[in-house]
Structure 1
């Protein structure tokens, strides 16, 4: 590691924007210098930042953004556990409030680490782990986390396990895969019930004197946006962490320019709802929304913002519309799919580190997904995936031959172990699914090629919905629709 040098800065303003952005891809707008400058300057949650630059021979090869802040470990607790913790906090407000060193962004989803060459991954993560230990000692805390690794990134981030990190599930992000060329085509792809539902809500929105418009320069509306966002925050039941202010919206508009915009709903000229989006390469990212709850139910403003976001993603030619965490079922009902995320966490106190991940897993409550049929057979006919799916068990790679909810048939090298293994399904759309798989049969069909059958079970609740959607698509793509198009 002697050839890689690490420098730490207390403000993004101390770093040359051109140098920082030289290794940030278009798909990583949340890691751009402009975005980081906006959130740092806005002072959201009074977070203190540190920025780490990794160089080799004076060339930048990676950087990471780290925040220092206090928050409640119960942020994702729900149900009986959440209610029990609330009772305690009425008497002891500081209960479960801790100071955390977090490599992640407070107002955005995704990894806060950018890297030029993944070949340097292990070295850089090891150096980052050392630096975070030093920072934790300086800040007199022992809790560290590195946020938001997707399933496809687990192999990369698992290098942190050697530094004592444990893996826990985070809240899932949600993605809508944009296959359509027009919004009308999207409506045509829906089963009849979903299509009628959307058209009814859009007509109700119009009949109430509501309009929706796209605004790129929205800094002058920062106070209105902050007010509407507070309405959403106060109604949030699943998650409350960052507290936005008017400066946040103002600086996002000023610093990101035409890479950010809002979709604003008005009722008789008065703002009643918005969603803010980032134009990020192949993705359109929906960040925050705000609603006037006095009229939201009658106008369907929340749902109309989803529909217009999908239309905007189609118009801009995006591959993905990212819809974020929480409130999953309305997103699923427009065709989005949850994508599991993971946090790598550790305590610098060895004894606490033994139990930390288990405690956090215990407090987390998986969401209750409402699985419905969204797309019709015409959609599946146009977007077949049955011939392009592969699977891997460790280093062994297989071609998928057939699937059901309880099992999968593969073709590839021989497999003998009867123990449960982790099977990774690689879907052409870019998502990956992990399953617990147990060998049921293995039959040789030709030289060095075997048909292998497994019983399977999704690794988590998030992967369950991904798996259900995949099985539905795979079977439909193979010509076995067998579903009522009206449901």
Structure 2
């Protein structure tokens, strides 16, 4: 009978502490967001409240077999609370600002969805990988005095991790759904022609309205010199958002993102006359393009957000992407453009064993996750769904 392999995990303080040969052994990660260049951006950006460490898993022979990033962040554990509960929490937090805001240890990437959130070489048994991951995270949570441990994010392609994580006490928790648009069209006009008339006319109405106001769009790959104004625009949106809020970006984030990722990152700049009024931050990740953030000089309900979203779609089509990730929240706009919502799950457990049985139920009671339905935006889609 063969023995199960044993893996050791080394925790490193800097991404550059991982030797280049380790990355060569691990091979190409499944996502740019798991590559060292991406983690350097996060490390140098100084996102407010985040403290990073990096885990390198080796086999008995010392060969690197897996990598994952971990970080601590203070998070509102009722982050998806329904409106009535949110009002109660706002009242309580006037007196106790930190109520239900806990120090979490998270495994994953803090600014985008990567599923599963681990780079591994081939031939590693999943159960052994999860055992090493779970052991390492509990040890790191003790060191950092983090009450809760979160592994995020898991889409349907990573459902197999659920049973292995449950063995180690993790609860499978639903998070905000992500949104994707599959792209079979050769150009933006073909995309609009494929839409049903209701959705196409709505899109065209907002497009004409915004363009008649003098808006012009520029795609810019080298945007490090605009970092301060882009971050200020992002903060304007962030501080006026009524939905999910978590990470707080810095000018250094935009600066490092541009410098480190080069032509794989860009911003769409929206000008009115000489004024830069909005932007969208995007990145290429293999055959997929990710829309990460949006910023406005003034947060207002004037139709520009829908216009920004249409230009993001047009750009992804023009650049030959197979898929566009459109991110969390603002589901109505994204679904009207043909995106589909994809369920996202997280694995959650308490550091303390006695507390852990109550964590899953408590989180579900405090949070209500939206479930946006699919919309028949495209003609072929509508025809297929007609009985």
Tell whether the structures are fold-level matches, with TM greater than 0.5.
Answer: yes
Contact 1:79 1:365 in 2 (8 A): no
Q: Secondary structure at the match of 2:110?
A: coil
2:38 maps to which residue? 35
1:463 maps to which residue? none
Contact 1:27 1:283 in 2 (8 A): no
- Going from structure 1 to structure 2, the CA distance change for 1:266 and 1:119 (only over 3 Å counts) comes to same
1:102 maps to which residue? 106
2:279 pairs with 274, 281, 293, which one? 274
- Going from structure 1 to structure 2, the CA distance change for 1:180 and 1:21 (only over 3 Å counts) comes to farther
2:49 pairs with 46, 51, 72, which one? 46
Q: Are residues 1:83 and 2:90 paired?
A: no
How far apart, CA to CA, are the structure 1 residues paired with 2:129 and 2:268? 39
Contact 1:24 1:32 in 2 (8 A): no
1:121 maps to which residue? 126
1:452 maps to which residue? none
How far apart, CA to CA, are the structure 2 residues paired with 1:372 and 1:164? 37
Could you tell me how far 1:119 is from its partner in structure 2?
Answer: 4.6
How far apart, CA to CA, are the structure 2 residues paired with 1:91 and 1:69? 22
Could you tell me how far 1:17 is from its partner in structure 2?
Answer: 4.7
Moved more, 140-149 or 49-58: 49-58
TM-score (norm 2): 0.93
1:59 pairs with 42, 58, 63, which one? 63
Moved more, 362-371 or 192-201: 362-371
1:258 pairs with 245, 250, 263, which one? 263
Moved more, 301-310 or 173-182: 301-310
- Going from structure 1 to structure 2, the CA distance change for 1:220 and 1:284 (only over 3 Å counts) comes to same
1:189 maps to which residue? 194
Could you tell me how far 1:252 is from its partner in structure 2?
Answer: 0.5
Give matches, 1:174-213, under 5 Å: 174-213=179-218
Q: Number of matched residues?
A: 382
Contact 1:21 1:32 in 2 (8 A): no
* Structure 1 unaligned blocks of 5 or more: 381-471, 483-487
1:158 pairs with 160, 163, 167, which one? 163
How far apart, CA to CA, are the structure 2 residues paired with 1:319 and 1:133? 38
Q: Are residues 1:5 and 2:14 paired?
A: no
Give matches, 1:229-268, under 5 Å: 229-268=234-273
Deviations 1:20-48 (A, max 9, x none): 37646465111111111111111102311
Could you tell me how far 1:98 is from its partner in structure 2?
Answer: 1.1
How far apart, CA to CA, are the structure 2 residues paired with 1:112 and 1:128? 11
2:139 maps to which residue? 134
* Structure 2 unaligned blocks of 5 or more: none
Could you tell me how far 1:151 is from its partner in structure 2?
Answer: 2.1
Deviations 1:127-175 (A, max 9, x none): 0100111111112233111011112311134311111111110111100
- Going from structure 1 to structure 2, the CA distance change for 1:168 and 1:23 (only over 3 Å counts) comes to same
Contact 1:274 1:289 in 2 (8 A): yes
Could you tell me how far 1:371 is from its partner in structure 2?
Answer: 5.6
Moved more, 42-51 or 274-283: 42-51
How far apart, CA to CA, are the structure 2 residues paired with 1:134 and 1:89? 31
1:20 maps to which residue? 23
Q: Secondary structure at the match of 1:30?
A: helix
1:459 maps to which residue? none
Which is bigger in relative contact order (C-alpha 8 A, separation at least 6)? 2
How far apart, CA to CA, are the structure 2 residues paired with 1:196 and 1:269? 30
Deviations 1:73-125 (A, max 9, x none): 12221311111111111111111121111102222222431122265221111
Q: Secondary structure at the match of 1:350?
A: coil
Q: Are residues 1:219 and 2:224 paired?
A: yes
How far apart, CA to CA, are the structure 2 residues paired with 1:26 and 1:113? 9
Q: Secondary structure at the match of 2:159?
A: helix
Deviations 1:236-275 (A, max 9, x none): 1111111111111001111111111111101112111111
How far apart, CA to CA, are the structure 2 residues paired with 1:199 and 1:34? 39
Answer with 1 or 2: which has the greater Rg: 1
More strand by share: 1
Could you tell me how far 1:207 is from its partner in structure 2?
Answer: 1.2
How far apart, CA to CA, are the structure 1 residues paired with 2:278 and 2:20? 34
TM-score (norm 1): 0.75
Contact 1:27 1:282 in 2 (8 A): no
How far apart, CA to CA, are the structure 1 residues paired with 2:73 and 2:373? 34
Q: Are residues 1:367 and 2:352 paired?
A: no
Could you tell me how far 1:335 is from its partner in structure 2?
Answer: 0.3
Could you tell me how far 1:69 is from its partner in structure 2?
Answer: 2.1
